Structure 1
Amino acid sequence: MSENNSLIGQTLRQHYKIVEQLGCGGGFGETYIAEDIDIPENPKPQRVVKRLKPTIKYQQVQRLFEQEGQILNRLSRYDKIPTLYAYFEHNQEFYLVQELIIGHDLTTEMSQPWSEAKVLNFLSEILEVLAFVHQNGVIHRDIKPGNIMRRDRDQKLMLIDFGAVKEVSNIVVNSQGKSSSTIAVGTPGYMPVEQAQGRPQFASDIYAVGITAIQALTGVTPRNFIQDELGEIDLQKLAPNISEKLANFLTKMVMVNWRQRYSDAAVALRGLQGNIEPISGILNWILLKITIGLICQYKNCDFSIFQNCLQLFVDRLQQNSNSVNYEFYKTVSMSLLKAQEKIAIEYRNQIGGSFPTIVQYSPFHSEQKRENLGWVNRKISQLRSELKKSIKQNILEVFQKILVVC
């Protein structure tokens, strides 16, 4: 792009002052950061401005851009999709103005393979967002690690860069005067066969999510995936230690024939939550029982020994999303003595029953699931802080009472 064609320093619609160029999106155009000078705040809030440059200017392109703008505006009301502030035409080019997400995309997190626990959490969260997209009749068409951002302020996943808008830049007119796209929208490796052939389905997005999950789990990029003699991804060779349930789920997501995949994100989400025990729910009970196990084990020892062991456990628990296998917690939990369950009940009573109730989650309990997991995470962080200060007095009193019961 020539310097004379740069938008830096210009103000669009007397509203958005371009201050920085983020990158060039090929046929899509360019992406910039702009200050919203119409907002009476200092510093001025920043927005992302995307400049679309169609290869041919004609009425059909304008109409398609208007339609896609309306779709993005509707989708952006969802908290995990960037807000669309404006879409307009200027000097025979098209512009989108969107929320600037402060965070990082998932490519930065994939330098090392993820644990199954982290992959499961990723699948649950991104499929929930995608279910909303599909329920609005929209196919994303370009899901990949670079188009999934983790927002800094709350660590939530954000789905960005919908492929439908990119199609506006690739429209041409055939000899009969009808519009068509010059290239398939998507990214090789994450784009299934039917999408590459110009026939995307909701199941095409499912494929892309599955590919992303396998990449996260294995640390292998899609171009290096092992395939069997039928051209299907050989997950057992890529991830020989994967649990059977997760392997079955991912295998169905990435079948070559789109009709053999989950039909849309809502169906996939039900499959995930029906076949794999929710980590956030069982983590509550496991944390409780292992803590009681440590109390029982060290009840006759110096309390500092118990404190150190509990600290060690909390450290390992905090690493759950990165390195500790989910099956470890389940195995340890089930191996605890039956007698400890009675003490666990006493433990619950002593702390006022503040552990949230464990429910059988479904796609319609997603908010309750997030609240429960958030509570456990906060409790772990709180406990860690207290242990570093030799355990605050009120926690110590609870433990001492249980030690008496033991």
Structure 2
Amino acid sequence: MILSTSEHRLALPVGTVLQQFRIEAVLGYGGFGIVYKGRHQHLDEIVVAIKEYLPQEIATRDGATVFPLGTSEQEDYEEGMTRFLAEAKQLLQFDHHPNIVSCRDFFEANGTAYLVMKFEDGMPLNELIRLRQQADRPLSEQEILQIILPLLDGLKMIHDHGVLHRDIKPGNVFMRRGTEDPVLIDFGAAKQNFSKHSKSNAPYSVGYAAFEQVHSDGHLGPWTDIHAVGGIMWRILSGKNPIPVETRLNALLRQHPDPMTSALELGSGHYSPAFLEAIDKCLKINEEDRFQDAETTALALQGRSVHVSGKTNIDPDTTIADDDVPTQMVRQKEPAKESVADVKPTNNTKWIIASLLVLICVALASLFFVGNNLKPEKDSIVKSEPTPATPETQTPPSSPPTPKPPPTSLVTHKLWINADPQFATIELLNSKINYAAGVELPAQRYQVRISATGYTEQSIWVDLSQNNQTVSVTLTPESKQYQLWVNTSPSSASIRIPSTGTAYQAGMSLNAGQYELEVSAPGYISQSTTADLRSSDQRLAIVLEKIKQPPAPAPAPSSNQSALEEKAWANCQVISGSPQTGEAYFTLPAGVSSGDVLFKVGRFRLPLRPVLSSDKFISMCQSKNCYKVRANYGLNDYSATGNGMKVNGKACFYAVGKKPHHYILNLK
């Protein structure tokens, strides 16, 4: 779907030239960037998609230039751009695969980076799923395989090059018009460093992300992308996004049923059991229970025999280090093991195999009773030598002394607690053992307390009686309050806090944050100011300026005097004196608030303060969306950016207390 650039407030306007390409429209956008449709300036037949790096939570745009919001965001911004360019370099090596987005070029400009890709005409997979749902024509098994198998082939190639996609979801699978071939787009490299900084844009897609992506110590590999592929197929079957893995794990830890209905249940009677079982295996929470590579997944989905192979090991110290590109991996494969499923017994050997299985069961049962129900040491092997047959005439040898049974081993399991914030203190309340990541504990239930300064403490129970456990806990920030004192002149002035709907009271407590105050008194010019209670108490002193009234019997100015004053006002001049501060009124369009607008006089950003109903010159305003700005007296250049538009102009900031000049900011 093509959007107008006005549908995104930070999008470059149509007609902007990037390298040799002219922007025609916005194709899409997300929390980390904007994608434009571009056409070659001299070769009209060349149309491309241009992806711009613009993480909105830590960066903004002034004109064409993108820059971090502040020095504290500078490092995150630069690291993200490095990863963005690394993604481009990776895509260049995959441009020959028909199901991986083709990259033509990349470059840096406007303080950011751009990725030039082949323009694909069609629709995202999530739109195709929605249309088929509306028409009550769900995708058949064959249609799903025509989408998934080519994607798995593309994944096999990038995995063989040591690269993970990390953000597979229906919105990142593009269906070509006509051929309906799938194309995998929008690799997740540039998003990875935002996991600790983003407030609303997670570095993964909830529901499609595997558990090892959600917590910081996860072991990522090809199986991580396989989980997301399973999520796409589950979405096609159910019509809904998959249940987040954290929700599933939380339910299982409490010994509740998995809240995510199995594919085998969803598609029963409509799809083959082998196909549905393969989808369920893709979505296993434990990474070791999933298919370990794309090729094995493709075979299982088609109901073909799956050869069991060793798991690809990825060393997290060398593959996802902070100073490396996160999608680079060192692959170390164990030699393939022959599967029992690959050994086909003949008719002559079936009886032998069955007999051996019976003998093994009998031997194991004997060991169980001889050992008096005692479990052997971990990883130990108990061997039982068969007793040779003894003829009746032969004197049996004296029995050897019965060996002592091995000592009973203590059953233990390991525990990992992933706490947010990471500096939280974790304590085991019913154990003398101090907690550490992966601590080995006797099999039982444990009460765990998680606490951190500035957060509400949590206490949970973890059951280690059966197996190892990994639990994620997010603490809730405490609602801090600070006190506010305001001294006014005159002391009788009234103080309002519009955002709370309450009147000010001396020393009142308010939740941490910033508050706009309105101070007014009869005979005085009303004033607005901001109280900053984000980190401490605050005391303010506000002095209101008296409204200057003309002397009661003041004679009306002569027509000549009035004309001079009007001319001075129109020319932004004063007849006598040189005031330092001036004021002007600005009206915003309906639906645009002052918080949406960046207003500058010269290179200084200035606040837009509301014109109150008690203000002397309220009649100058043309609507309630009217604001005043104070700047150096005289005629000044100004700029206003908001609602995806930018307005430049000159404004007269006339003496405060005199009739102000009024301007309309046309940001529509």
- Pairwise CA RMSD of aligned residues? 3.2
Equivalent residue for 2:356?
Answer: none
User: Secondary structure of 2:104's match?
Assistant: strand
The one of 213, 216, 227 aligned to 1:207 = 227
Shift of 1:62: 4.8
Paired position in structure 1 for 2:51: 50
Of 119, 122, 125, 1:100 maps to 119
Instruction: Kindly state the Cα deviation for residue 204 of structure 1 after the two structures are TM-superposed.
Output: 1.6
The partner residue of 1:16 within 7, 18, 21 is: 21
The answer to whether structure 1 residue 160 and structure 2 residue 185 are counterparts is yes
Q: Does 1:130 align with 2:155?
A: yes
Report which structure shows greater RCO (CA 8 Å, sep ≥6).
1
Measured after TM superposition, the shift of residue 171 of structure 1 is 8.0
Return the alpha-carbon distance in structure 2 between the equivalents of residues 167 and 269 of structure 1.
Answer: 28
Cα pair 1:245 1:276 within 8 Å, conserved: no
Q: Specify the alignment match of 2:104 in structure 1.
A: 85
Query: What displacement does 1:273 show?
Result: 4.5
Does structure 2 retain, via aligned residues, the 8 Å contact 1:80–1:158? Answer: yes
Deviations 1:123-169 (A, max 9, x none): 3222112111211211111111121122124221111111113346x
2:242 maps to 1:237 = no
For residue 151 of structure 2, give the secondary structure of its aligned residue in structure 1.
Answer: helix
Distance 1:142 1:10 in 2: 30
CA shift, 1:23, in A, is 2.9
How far does the alpha carbon of each residue in 1:79-106 deviate from its partner, in whole angstroms, 9 at most, with x for none? 2222212212112111111111011122
| CA apart distance, 1:186 | 2.1
Where does structure 1 lack aligned partners over 5 or more consecutive residues? 174-179, 278-406
Q: CA deviation at 1:274?
A: 5.7
SS of the equivalent of 2:105 reads strand
- Residue 267 and residue 237 in structure 1: after superposition, are their counterparts in 2 closer, same or farther (change >3 A)? closer
The whole-number CA distance in structure 2 between the counterparts of 1:3 and 1:249 is 44
1:144 aligns to 2:169 (yes or no): yes
**Cα distance, 1:217 vs structure 2:** 3.0
Cα contact 1:202–1:264 (8 A) shared by 2? yes
Describe the shift of the 1:73–1:57 C-alpha distance in structure 2 as closer, same or farther (beyond 3 A): farther
Q: Distance in 2 between matches of 1:184 and 1:119?
A: 28
Q: CA offsets, 1:212-270, max 9 Å, x none?
A: 11222343442499977256642333222242211221111110111111112123224
CA distance in 1, matches of 2:168, 2:127: 16
1:271 aligns with 2:300: yes
* Contact 1:57 1:92 (C-alpha < 8 Å) held by counterparts: no
How far off is 1:66 after superposition? 3.4
**SS across alignment from 2:28:** strand
Asked if 1 retains the 8 angstrom alpha-carbon contact of 2:210 and 2:224, the reply is yes
What does the per-residue CA deviation read over 1:57-91, in whole Å, with 9 as the maximum and x for residues that have no partner?
44644543332221121122322222212212112
**SS of match in other structure, 1:162:** coil
**What does residue range 213-362 of structure 1 map to in structure 2 within 5 Å?**
213-223=233-243, 229-230=257-258, 233-241=261-269, 242-273=271-302, 275=304
* Aligned residues of 1:68 and 1:164 also touching (Cα < 8 A): yes
Q: Which runs of 5+ in 2 are unaligned?
A: 1-6, 59-72, 249-255, 307-668
- Farther-moved stretch of structure 1 (51-60 vs 141-150): 51-60
Residue in structure 1 matched with residue 95 of structure 2 by the alignment: 76
Match status 1:32 vs 2:27: no
Relative to its length, the structure with more strand (as a share) is 2
Alignment-mate amino acid for residue 204 of structure 1? T
For residues 96 and 69 of structure 1, the distance between their equivalents in structure 2, rounded to whole angstroms, comes to 6
The percentage of aligned residue pairs carrying the same residue is: 28
Structure 1 159/6 Cα, relative in aligned 2: closer, same or farther at 3 Å? same
Q: What does the per-residue CA deviation read over 1:195-225, in whole Å, with 9 as the maximum and x for residues that have no partner? A: 1224343212111111211222343442499
Q: Deviations over 1:265-299 (max 9, x none)?
A: 1232243346279xxxxxxxxxxxxxxxxxxxxxx
Q: Taking structure 1 as reference, are residues 66 and 108 closer, same or farther at Cα in structure 2, changes over 3 Å only?
A: closer
Does structure 1 residue 6 correspond to structure 2 residue 12?
A: yes
- Corresponding letter in the other structure for 1:8: V
In the alignment, the residues of structure 2 paired with residue 270 and residue 240 of structure 1 have an alpha-carbon distance, to the nearest angstrom, of: 20
Q: Which structure shows the higher helix fraction?
A: 1
- Asked whether the 8 Å contact 1:215–1:221 carries over to 2, the reply is yes
Q: What count of residue pairs does the alignment treat as equivalent? A: 265
Q: Secondary structure at the match of 1:85?
A: strand
Cα 1:135–1:127, aligned 2, differ >3 Å: closer, same or farther?
same
Q: Report the Cα distance in structure 2 between the residues aligned to 1:160 and 1:209, rounded to whole angstroms.
A: 14
- Residues in 1 aligned to 2:159 and 2:100: alpha-carbon distance in whole angstroms: 13
Specify the SS of the correspondent of 1:75. Answer: coil
TM-score by length of 2: 0.36
Aligned partner of residue 17 in structure 1, secondary structure: strand
Equivalent residues of 1:184, 1:197 under 8 A apart: no
Larger Rg: 2
